[in-house]
């Protein structure tokens, strides 16, 4: 079987991105402090953006020597997206997401500066039935591949993709494209939630993901730091001898 494990020079510790899906900046800081050196990369999304303390938190994370993934899924008039990305690039952000057509992705890519632009392919909360409801007359894997090819051609650095579709991405899209996989559940026996296209930590990386995003399984654990360290151990086991 072809070895799909990422060979990009990414520190193993940084391949875990923790989703800071909490309602306010105080809880975010508490969770980051609680996790300590178990996590070095954080995703900050719409919930915290709505608090009005978004940049304060990003700057605080920078002071803590943490990497930041701004998951705001920009989708607007291309010029507006370009201006928003240009502003964001001045605030110590490593990754940012865009969601939209070719013109939007291209505008973001041209304005990105030092941050990396990641194009959303298909949200992991959507399945084939949801795609039909949205009016997409194609299957999920085909749409993921189409969006990934266009993202690369238009200057984006990577894509957000379920780990289920990563093997096809690696087979048909240039390997230099970064792939960040959300919808990770560290064990298969998981509680019901809104994520439909999920994979385990090991499966995501065996399929070729460069990074994974984990939120609730760490945040809601009885001991979040222990849960994060367990995820890190699972990642290290995949990359043992590679990094």
- The span from the CA of 198 to the CA of 186, in Å, is 10
Residues 161-213: tens digit of each pLDDT? 888 888 888 888 888 899 999 988 765 444 445 444 468 999 999 999 999 99
Answer yes or no: is pLDDT of 126 > 50: no
> Which pLDDT band, with edges at 50, 70 and 90, does 122 fall under?
low
Percent of the chain residues past pLDDT 70, beyond the cut: 84
Query: Among this protein's residues, is 116 annotated catalytic?
Result: no
Q: Find the mean pLDDT for residues 26-35.
A: 98
- CATH topology for 12-238 is TIM Barrel (3.20.20)
Give 160 or 144, the one with higher predicted confidence.
Answer: 160
Beta strands in 75-214 (DSSP E): 95-98, 116-120, 158-160, 178-181, 211-214
Q: Taking the domains of the chain in order of start, what are their residue ranges?
A: 12-238
Answer yes or no: is pLDDT of 1 > 90: no
> Which pLDDT band, with edges at 50, 70 and 90, does 137 fall under?
low
Q: Is 100 left (phi over 0), alpha (psi -120 to 50) or beta?
A: left
Selecting among 73, 110, 116, 196, the annotated active-site residue is 73
> Which pLDDT band, with edges at 50, 70 and 90, does 41 fall under?
very high
């Amino acid at each position: 079987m072809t070895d799909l494990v990422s060979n990009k020079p990414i520190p193993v510790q940084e391949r875990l991105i923790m989703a800071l899906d909490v309602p306010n900046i105080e809880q975010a800081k508490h969770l980051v402090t609680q996790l300590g050196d178990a996590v070095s990369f954080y995703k900050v999304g719409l919930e915290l953006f709505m608090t009005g303390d978004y940049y304060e938190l990003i700057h605080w994370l920078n002071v803590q020597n943490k990497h930041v993934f701004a998951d705001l899924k920009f989708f607007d008039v291309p010029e507006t997206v370009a201006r928003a990305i240009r502003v964001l690039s001045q605030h110590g952000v490593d990754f940012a997401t865009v969601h939209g057509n070719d013109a939007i992705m291209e505008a973001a890519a041209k304005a990105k500066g030092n941050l990396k632009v990641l194009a959303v392919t298909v949200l992991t909360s959507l399945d084939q039935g949801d795609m039909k409801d949205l009016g997409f007359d194609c299957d999920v894997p085909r749409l993921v591949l189409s969006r990934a090819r266009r993202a690369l051609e238009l200057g984006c650095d990577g894509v957000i993709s379920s780990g289920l579709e990563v093997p096809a991405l690696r087979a048909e899209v240039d390997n230099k494209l970064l792939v960040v996989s959300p919808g990770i559940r560290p064990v298969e026996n998981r509680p019901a939630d809104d994520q439909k296209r999920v994979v385990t930590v090991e499966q995501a990386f065996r399929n070729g993901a460069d990074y994974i995003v984990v939120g609730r399984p760490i945040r809601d654990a009885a001991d979040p730091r222990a849960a994060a360290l367990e995820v890190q151990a699972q990642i290290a086991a995949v990359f043992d001898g590679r990094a």
